């Protein structure tokens, strides 16, 4: 059994709760209030900035040229494609580029990205991959689930978001990232396997917390 199979089984409860979260199901049905989606997109943009830094650190730490190339391409795709899509969503939602760039990370966004950056600075390449996989694979699970339920034709922006993460291109990327992680994790020591599990579990919990913050439109208390 591959390492990712074990980790996904260990986090089944939180993954099921993500798929049932009101923000996720609201995107799927098209009934999520636009204010919640605006909040989510802005925070996700902030997240992607730090996610790119984590990937860049993975490039620097990788000892394998193929891994360096993979992480470098992910950095470019995040900066040039995914973040541009977010800018496009925001323009359609009435959020200017200046407003988007000025978005302050919420407490949850800050905590999640700090966790990822801590792993990236302190740990091995395989542990960085373990910390990122709940996001990378989780969005494919969400996209697939919502696609299977049927796209919300009355809310084209949500339908486009679902189609992106539920489409073949993202499916293939998520599968490649998972397979690459499994190859890297195949021969780790028992101690490192424990660290992989801890990082994976923490990121899985933050994935749920990120959606929940959008539901509450979380802000700093003071």
CA gap 138, 132 in Å, rounded: 10
Ramachandran quadrant class, 95 (left: phi over 0; alpha: psi -120 to 50; beta: rest): beta
Which of the residues 127, 141, 145, 207 is marked catalytic? 207
Active site residue 207: yes
Q: How many CB atoms lie under 10 A from the CB of residue 62? A: 21
Q: Which of 135, 160, 192, 218 is catalytic?
A: 135
Instruction: Please give the structure tokens belonging to residue 19.
Output: 């798929």
Cβ neighbours around 3 below 10 Å, total: 22
Q: Which active-site residues does the annotation give?
A: 135, 207
């Amino acid at each position: 059994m591959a390492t990712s199979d074990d980790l996904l089984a260990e986090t089944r409860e939180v993954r099921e709760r993500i798929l049932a979260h009101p923000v996720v199901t609201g995107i799927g049905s098209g009934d999520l209030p636009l204010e919640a989606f605006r909040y989510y997109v802005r925070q996700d943009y902030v997240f992607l900035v730090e996610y790119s830094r984590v990937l860049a650190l993975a490039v620097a730490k990788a000892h394998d040229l193929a891994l360096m190339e993979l992480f470098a391409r992910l950095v470019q795709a995040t900066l040039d494609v995914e973040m541009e899509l977010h800018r496009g969503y925001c323009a359609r939602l009435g959020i200017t580029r200046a407003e988007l760039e000025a978005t302050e990370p919420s407490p949850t966004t800050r905590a999640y990205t700090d966790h990822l950056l801590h792993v990236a600075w302190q740990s091995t390449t395989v542990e960085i991959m373990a910390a990122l996989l709940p996001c990378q694979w989780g969005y494919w699970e969400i996209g697939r689930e919502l696609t299977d339920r049927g796209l919300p034709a009355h809310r084209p922006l949500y339908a486009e978001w679902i189609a992106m993460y539920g489409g073949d291109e993202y499916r293939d990327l998520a599968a490649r990232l998972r397979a690459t992680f499994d190859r890297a994790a195949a021969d780790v020591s028992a101690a490192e396997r424990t660290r992989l599990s801890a990082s994976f579990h923490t990121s899985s919990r933050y994935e749920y917390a990120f959606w929940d913050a959008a539901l509450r439109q979380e802000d700093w208390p003071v």
